[in-house]
Chains A and B, each alone.
Chain A
Amino acid sequence: MMTSTATLASGTPKKAIDSLMLRYLVLIGLIVIASVGFSIANENFYSLTNIGILLRSIAVLFLLAMGMTFIMLTGGIDLSIGSNVAFSGAVGVLTLVTTGSAALGFATSILAGMLIGGINGFFIGRLKLSPFMVSLATYALARGLALVLYDANSINVDNAAFLWLGGVSWGNMPVVIPFVALVFIALSVLLYQTPFGRDVYAAGANANTAFVLGRRPERTLVWVYVLSGALAGLSAIITVGRVSSGQPWAGLYLEFDAITAVILGGTSLFGGRGKLLGTILGVLLYGIIINGLVLTGTNPYLQSLIKGLILLGVVLLDTLTQKGKAA
């Protein structure tokens, strides 16, 4: 008895750094439980077709949530990404329709996304305004621009090259999934292996200190929002491919899904703590639950409740592990 408590006590400081690892194990556990549960309820859950559908439906969320992870690591938030998907999609589709060039369409879509991100970044990083306020404004702004550009109507797209990324599957594997994996690897290198990535953590952990140490947190913030915007532009291309048309109401509520997934993945709302892996697991869990609830025909009124409970449960878990640390 005595020895066991002694080991526990001496292990306590180490636990603190492993709390993220603990979170990932919990997420993996939940993913397994949810998968097993849903496959008992509906044998279709494990069908390759369904896994293809599932992955394709969360491809965009993977991208946006990774961008959101960078932002939340700096202690910020970006509410504009969903609207930005519609806006940058509009720019891309209109470019495609007028020039007929898919390459130009891709480029302008991503640039348009970066433009909204740049506006966020300028106001948040340079003018030091609240991320919530600024991105709430660009949330409305980007949606309005999309409606104006589209004249509130959708535009059909039949350019095979433009639709390829979001629309094509190799067998049951949507091509967008390997693409998302590549983006994940690239962003991981950016976040963990470059000074920029360290600056992202530093800006969230204590921007004052980072500034005194000769870093440029204000510049880091600008680029983080531009990155999030670029990912929204990329998501717009995938969305257009998925629905074979440009839609003024594309990306509706995606910012909330992304924020939920990032929080599920253990990234702190206050910045400085979190990893991309957690976000990937968060998106996966979120996607499996949504897919499973549809598959099992769960009452939609109940679906919202279940989502809320899962989020609350994870927050509760956070508080409990936090308390464990303090003792």
Chain B
Amino acid sequence: MKLKTMTAGLALATAFGAGAALAADDTLDIVFINDGHVAPYHVAWLTGFEDAIAAYDKAFEDVKVSGRWLSAEGSLEKMIQQTEVTINERPDVMFVNAINVDAFEPLVAKAQAEGITWIAVHSPMESADYSFTLGDVANGTNQGMAMCALSKGEPFKVGVMLGQAGNPSGEARREGILKGIATCDNVEVVAEQPADWDTVKAQTIAENWFTQYPDLNAISGVTDAYMYPSIAIATNAGNTDIQFYGYDGDIPIIQQMESGQVMADILLSGTREGWNFVQMAYRIHKGETPEKVYDFFTPLVLTEENHKIALEHGFPEDVQVYYVPQALEVAAKGYLEFGPDSVK
């Protein structure tokens, strides 16, 4: 039985090898090394990436576009090993979502010596060829300011769920949210707690908060992963007044904006980001030079009605906002913004 598995694995492996051997003259090989692969955002992200690879390969006959992704499952050591193995494989472009950027400095040099374009994901790296960043502080600020405006000057209590301690992305989002909230003085942050990007931990925290602060007005989070359990607990408790401020642009969360209590979200959308990666790699391959620090376009999402209310309560007019229908459309269809048509 075990032998059969091995043989199956071999057959699979051989198929991959054969695929590589059939490559066309001009090839673009992209590897994406991520820190995880099971969170809803990760799944959308990796799926978007896979779909984009296939779409680009199909759309352009002169370039053979191939790619794959790896997951370090949260372990820095594993990520370093995967990166080392990948460099040895000499792909054209590597996207690396480093768990800790300092640890990767020696590897960036190694990759560049092999002629690989290194794109640092989320946390910028000076030495990398490019950095693909999210503008986390600015996004967080937008979320915080939206909360200020939608609280309409009333006394307002909020709990903020943070990322894993020490994680740069989480820290930046927190900084932004607090900065946005600080623009008004009626909103009070009554609790802050890290939930380690973990839905289950978020559930426990939300339960505690609802007990501890019965007059809580809102829950803000640095990821939509925290919204699912929080919303469910509030709904089950019959609490229809509490508001939710999300981050990530998960489609099910945006869908709850028109009807429910989700007030604002930041439209990252894993699917979009995956497509954006492949578009960026393709552009570089074709000789374009994007900004060295490339900011992923991540608008604030509100309902049209709420946007109006917000503007009336001092929300800045220059902040770019997508309304729900548009946000849903681009979130699901990464190709609308970043597909092969966008670079033809």
A147 pairs with B165, CB closer than 8 A = yes
Q: Please give, as numbers and ranges, the residues of chain A lying within 8 Å of B6 by CB-CB distance.
A: 30, 33-34, 37
Question: What CA separation (Å) do A103 and B255 show in the bound complex?
Answer: 58
Chain B residues 44 to 76 lying within 8 A of chain A, measured CB to CB, are 68-71, 73-76
9 residue pairs, one from A and one from B, having the closest CB atoms: A41-B13, A313-B2, A152-B166, A243-B103, A152-B165, A296-B13, A57-B81, A37-B10, A300-B71
- Complex alpha-carbon distance, A250 and B81, angstroms: 13
Contact partners of A316 in chain B: CB under 8 A: 1-2
B85 touches A50 (CB 8 A): yes
Judge whether A297 and B1 touch: CB under 8 Å: no
CA distance A44 to B90 in the complex (A): 11
Contact of B166 with A44 in the complex, beta carbons under 8 Å: no
**CB-nearest residue of chain A relative to B90?**
A44
Q: Which of A44, A300, A316 has the most CB of B within 10 A?
A: A300
Contact call B13/A40, Cβ cutoff below 8 A: yes
Cα separation A191 to B281 with both chains bound (whole Å): 54
Assembly CA distance A242 to B84 (angstroms): 11
Is residue B37 contacting chain A, with contact meaning CB distance below 8 A? yes
Contact with A along B67-103 (1 / 0, CB 8 A): 0111101111100111011101100000000011011
A248 contacts B166, C-beta separation under 8 Å: yes
Q: Does B183 contact A (CB under 8 A)?
A: no
B1 & A313 in contact (Cβ 8 Å cutoff): yes
**CA separation between A73 and B176, bound complex, in Å?**
52
Residues of B participating in the A interface, judged by any CB pair closer than 8 Å: 1-2, 5-6, 9-10, 12-14, 16-17, 37, 68-71, 73-77, 80-82, 84-86, 88-89, 99-100, 102-103, 105-106, 164-166
* B165: min CB distance to chain A, Å: 4
Residue of A nearest to B14 (CB): A41
Assess the A300–B70 pair: CB atoms within 8 A. yes
Complex-state Cα separation, A316 to B6, whole angstroms: 16
Tell me if B2 and A296 are in contact (CB < 8 A).
Answer: no
Which B residue sits closest to A42, measured CB to CB?
A: B17
A297 to B16, CA, bound (A): 7
A244 x B71 contact (CB < 8 A): no
Q: Which of B9, B70, B74, B89 has the most CB of A within 10 A?
A: B9
B16 touches A249 (CB 8 A): no
Contact in complex: A41, B17 (CB < 8 Å): yes
Does A41 lie within 8 Å of B88, measured CB to CB?
Answer: no
User: 8 new A-B pairs (CB below 8 Å) besides A40-B14, A249-B99, A252-B76?
Assistant: A34-B6, A37-B13, A42-B16, A167-B106, A242-B77, A250-B77, A297-B68, A313-B2
In the bound complex, what is the Cα–Cα distance between A42 and B13 (angstroms)?
Answer: 8
Quick one: CB contact mask for A39-60 with B, threshold 8 Å, 1 for yes? 0111010010110010011001
A314 to B14, CA, bound (A): 25
Contacts of A295 in B (CB 8 A): 85, 89
Q: Does A170 contact B (CB under 8 A)?
A: no
Q: Are B100 and A47 in contact (CB under 8 A)?
A: no
C-beta contact mask, A296-316 vs B, less than 8 Å → 1, else 0?
A: 111011000010011001101
Residues of the B chain whose Cβ atoms lie less than 8 Å from the Cβ of A250:
76-77
Q: Which of A74-124 contact B (CB under 8 A)?
A: none
Given A53-B84, A244-B102, do A298 and B9 touch, yes or no (CB 8 Å)? yes
Complex partner residue of A291 from B5, B17, B85, CB under 8 angstroms: B85
Inter-chain contact B17/A296, CB cutoff 8 Å: yes
* A247 & B100 in contact (Cβ 8 Å cutoff): yes
The residues of A that contact B106 with a CB separation of less than 8 Å are 167, 244
User: Which residue of chain A lies nearest to B76 when distances are taken between CB atoms in the complex?
Assistant: A247
Interface size class of A (residues with CB under 8 A): 35 or more
Q: Which residues of A contact B89 (CB under 8 A)?
A: 42, 44, 295
Chain B nearest CB from A53 CB (Å) reads 5
A153 CB within 8 Å of chain B:
yes
Do B100 and A245 have beta carbons less than 8 Å apart?
yes
* A253 within 8 A of partner (CB): yes
Q: Measured between alpha carbons, how far is A41 from B13 in the docked complex, in Å?
A: 5
Interface contact A309-B13, CB-CB below 8 Å? no
Query: Which A residue sits closest to B106, measured CB to CB?
Result: A244
**A243 CA to B107 CA, complexed, in Å:** 10
Give the CA-CA distance A60 to B75 in the complex, in Å.
14
Q: Is the CB of A244 within 8 A of B103?
A: yes
With A34-B6, A309-B2 known to touch, is A156 a contact of B102 (CB < 8 Å)?
yes
Contacts A40-B17, A243-B80 given: A294-B86 contact, CB under 8 Å?
yes
A242 touches B88 (CB 8 A): no
Cα A242 to Cα B9 in complex, Å, equals 30
Contact of A253 with B85 at beta-carbon distance under 8 Å, contacts A247-B103, A300-B69 already known:
no
B85 touches A53 (CB 8 A): yes
Q: Does A150 contact B (CB under 8 A)?
A: yes
> Is there an interface contact between B77 and A57, defined as CB atoms closer than 8 Å?
yes
Q: Say yes or no: B12 contacts A298, CB within 8 Å.
A: yes
Contact A249 to B102, CB < 8 A, known contacts A37-B9, A300-B69: no
Residue in A41, A156, A253 whose Cβ sees the most chain B Cβ within 10 Å = A41
In the bound complex, do residue B85 and residue A296 qualify as a contact, i.e. CB atoms below 8 Å apart?
no
When A40-B17, A249-B76 are in contact, do A244 and B70 touch as well, CB less than 8 Å? Answer: no
Q: A154 at the A/B interface (Cβ < 8 Å)?
A: yes
List of A residues within 8 angstroms of B1 by Cβ:
313, 316
User: Closest Cβ of chain B: how far from A313's Cβ, in Å?
Assistant: 3
Which residues of A154-170 are within 8 A (CB) of B?
A: 154, 156, 167
* A239 CA / B80 CA spacing, docked (Å): 11
> A159 to B86, alpha carbons, bound, how many Å?
27
How far, in angstroms, from A62 to B70 measured CA to CA in the complex?
Answer: 24
Which residue from chain A places its CB closest to the CB of B166 in the assembled complex?
A: A152
Q: In the bound complex, what is the Cα–Cα distance between A251 and B88 (angstroms)?
A: 24
Q: Can you list 5 pairs linking A and B with CB atoms under 8 Å apart?
A: A41-B16, A154-B166, A250-B77, A294-B81, A301-B37
| Closest chain A CB from B66 CB (angstroms) | 9
Chain A residues, Cβ within 8 Å of B17: 40-42, 296
